[in-house]
Structure 1
Amino acid sequence: MNQTNHLSVEELRDIVQDAHLNFLLGAGASADLFAPLGAVEDWLTYLTQIGDIPATTLNRVRASVYAYFFEGVIDPNTSVINETVVADPILETYRGFLRTLNTLLVRRRSSILDKQVNIFTTNVDLATEVAAEELQLELNDGFSGRYLPIFSASNFGTVKSRRSLQYDNLAEVPTFNLFKLHGSTSWAARKIDLGEETKEVITFNPSTEVFDAIRGTLQTAKDALYEVDKKTKIDKLTRDADEPTPSEEAVLGAFMAEYERLAIVNPTKDKFGLTVLNQNYYDLLRIFSNTLEKENSVLFVIGFSCRDEHIRELIIRAARTNPTLQIIVFAYHPDEVQALKDRLNADLAANGNILVLSTPKKAKKADQETYTLSSITKTFFEPLLPKAPRKPDSVVDVRLKLTEPLELDDDQH
């Protein structure tokens, strides 16, 4: 595959029809509602590396960053769960994405490949789940059980079929496997009694109860927190910070205690260490790695900056060891193409199987088009859908008249 900024409809059609389909969605894919927050990961990593300020002061700064992260990434899920008008743009984006892929799976010409799509995501929002529920698509998110749904990586990989009631025909149902590499706001850690031992499991909790509790403690701690935005210089903020009073320390601690109830991997450089400690997160990364090693696979990367070094290394290693793997990365903006290539070592890929795509560069900033999940769906995947039958240019009216057949006399035989 040539490393150019072009991919024809015919090339993409062959890939989609004949390869195992995998997607990696990053924060940019959900930017319709969850705006990228800048260098949160770098900030939190910096705070783990300095030790020349009092712990209480450090905790104050850390709580301020988590408050910023909660308000920008976690709390907006309330709108998604309740399907309010605010969430309409992001839900419509995911509905279009899932609907298009589902149609492509139904019309897939290969009888060898499963009608499945693997969606790996670092996002913790619920847009994919809610959109799939609205469309009544088959979504496997790793949970099983009705009364108490429990997460297990062993629940993935199931092929589902449907048997017709009338003719007893068996047909595979298109399935979306959703792997949330960093956890989800709908996950909750819970201890269950197994008789002789107690085991901690991940259960499904789609309510806003945890959000409401965090929001309440955050409101109480507002005066003890520092203002944080994209332009914040974390080193300056840390130098200028002062120790909280005992009452401030108490409300900050209450906020962090509620926040830590979330079963997510927080954006820090040491998150891989946390992932290894939790078997569920580790299993998801292992599945991601093994999936990329599968012969004749494709990975579409959308809205992912490739700054996450642990996921990035898995992609680079797979590109080197699996020559049949194709990696197609969509750059949000043309200016990001080279940075993405550098992070993935795309120009040095021995198998030449990493392609970075972007929109054409425009002279005026206002005219510049970008690749969002919505525009990628419309530009690349919708053209692959079967076209509606074309209306005839003209209609010919043919009229037939039936008459009684002629009967011959005996003398005429």
Structure 2
Amino acid sequence: MDNQVDTLSKRMRNLAITKQLNFLLGSGTSVPAIPLMAGLTNSELLKKVEVTSREILDRYRQSANVRNTQSTYDGFIQVVIDLLNLSNSRQSPKNVNIFTTNYDLFIEKAIDKASKNNRIVFNDGANGYFQRMLDSSNYNRTVSYRGLNNDYLNEVPSISVIKPHGSMNWVKEKENIRIINRVSPMPVVVPPTGLEAATTFLQNHFYEMLRIFQLELDKPQSVLFIIGFSFQDKHIGKMVRRALQNAELMVYAIGYSDADRGTFLNNLGFLEERPNFKIITPKDVFVDKNSDNLNLEWLTRTLNGMLSEGD
């Protein structure tokens, strides 16, 4: 790895530990288990996500693609937890916000698995026990562990998952959304119709999820890593554009292929990158000789590098 790439990798890992950490995951992170919507109708895509989500929750019925994709998410979540454990809670909260436009349950399954071996708090925005209702006010909470003799107080790493386009385990109940532990036959989701902005802002719950996204990006000393997302969702693209007015925010948009650089700039209406908005594509980094693309697995390895190097 040459010096330029080495510097980039170290900077990304350092930002993940020292800044308020945010991720935006798009549909590309669930490939190959769920294909991109190109070539699929809306109903075909929703059916595929439903079938895949059922497989996610039933390990005995998983296809190879689902197992491999789940393994990628598992590795990503574990590295995120490791980074949070390294962060200094006096410098920034031990919390990561994972925003995703995906309906599937890969993230939830990965966090559930990680919680068995790590002391973490999973916040999906719900409260309640038998009936877990979604409420945006449940975000931005911190949890601390107090010593048995009250001799110390340690903040517990927290993962907040925010789904502005809904989820396969969301059920509408009157004017509320209930989060269940199975796939709903009628999930509350924003259909990928190309009219996401109109649909989203007509639904108060989705508006609240996007409001959280905007508020988090407006915070000082924050970093946002974007992957699997091409900014075709115009309402989210506008929010990223606005957020970049915050000079203390650093955004890295990771492209699967070199062609994504032009796509990102065009969809955002930018002529070029900005000091706090950088695009990373395969030509910018050292890529394994067996790979020509950047994906969630690559980002996981990059963020894990600091842990292996002891920086």
- TM score, norm. by length of structure 1: 0.67
Structure 1 segments (4+ residues) deviating >6 Å: none
Q: Does residue 1:330 correspond to 2:309, yes or no?
A: no
Task: Note the aligned Cα RMSD (angstroms).
Answer: 2.3
Q: Does residue 1:143 correspond to 2:126, yes or no?
A: yes
Distance 1:102 1:276, change over 3 A: same
Q: Does residue 1:96 correspond to 2:19, yes or no?
A: no
Q: Give runs of aligned pairs for residues 226-375 of structure 1, distance below 5 A.
A: 261-319=186-244, 321-348=245-272, 352-360=275-283, 369-375=292-298
Aligned equivalents of 2:79, 2:91: Cα separation in 1: 21
Contact kept, 8 Å, 2:16 with 2:303, in 1: the verdict is no
Aligned equivalents of 2:105, 2:169: Cα separation in 1: 7
Aligned to 2:169, the other structure's residue is in SS state strand
Aligned equivalents of 1:346, 1:110: Cα separation in 2: 35
Among 113, 134, 140, the alignment partner of 1:134 is 113
Q: Give runs of aligned pairs for residues 220-231 of structure 1, distance below 5 A.
A: none
Distance 1:92 1:338, change over 3 A: same
Contact kept, 8 Å, 1:183 with 1:264, in 2: the verdict is yes
Contact kept, 8 Å, 2:99 with 2:163, in 1: the verdict is yes
Aligned length: 297
Aligned equivalents of 1:114, 1:39: Cα separation in 2: 42
Aligned equivalents of 2:113, 2:126: Cα separation in 1: 18
1:383 maps to which residue?
A: 305
1:27 maps to which residue?
A: 27
Look up the equivalent residue of 2:132 and give its one-letter code: P
Among 52, 55, 61, the alignment partner of 1:79 is 55
Q: Give runs of aligned pairs for residues 384-399 of structure 1, distance below 5 A.
A: 384-385=306-307, 387=309
Among 157, 179, 183, the alignment partner of 1:204 is 179
Aligned equivalents of 1:205, 1:118: Cα separation in 2: 21
Identity of aligned residues (%): 28
1:236 maps to which residue?
A: none
Aligned to 2:99, the other structure's residue is in SS state strand
Aligned equivalents of 1:5, 1:12: Cα separation in 2: 11
Aligned to 1:177, the other structure's residue is in SS state strand
- TM score, norm. by length of structure 2: 0.88
Q: Offset of 1:187 from its aligned partner? A: 0.1
Q: Offset of 1:31 from its aligned partner? A: 0.8
Q: Does residue 1:70 correspond to 2:51, yes or no?
A: no
Contact kept, 8 Å, 2:24 with 2:227, in 1: the verdict is yes
Q: Does residue 1:188 correspond to 2:171, yes or no?
A: yes
Look up the equivalent residue of 1:335 and give its one-letter code: A
Aligned equivalents of 2:249, 2:184: Cα separation in 1: 42
Distance 1:209 1:154, change over 3 A: closer
Look up the equivalent residue of 1:20 and give its one-letter code: Q
Distance 1:147 1:382, change over 3 A: same
Contact kept, 8 Å, 1:190 with 1:201, in 2: the verdict is yes
Aligned to 1:281, the other structure's residue is in SS state helix
Contact kept, 8 Å, 1:17 with 1:110, in 2: the verdict is no
Q: Which runs of 5+ in 1 are unaligned?
A: 41-64, 192-199, 211-260, 389-413
Q: Which runs of 5+ in 2 are unaligned?
A: none
Aligned equivalents of 2:12, 2:96: Cα separation in 1: 15
Q: Cα deviations across residues 239-266 of structure 1 (Å, max 9, x unaligned)?
A: xxxxxxxxxxxxxxxxxxxxxx320011
Distance 1:39 1:156, change over 3 A: farther
Look up the equivalent residue of 1:355 and give its one-letter code: K
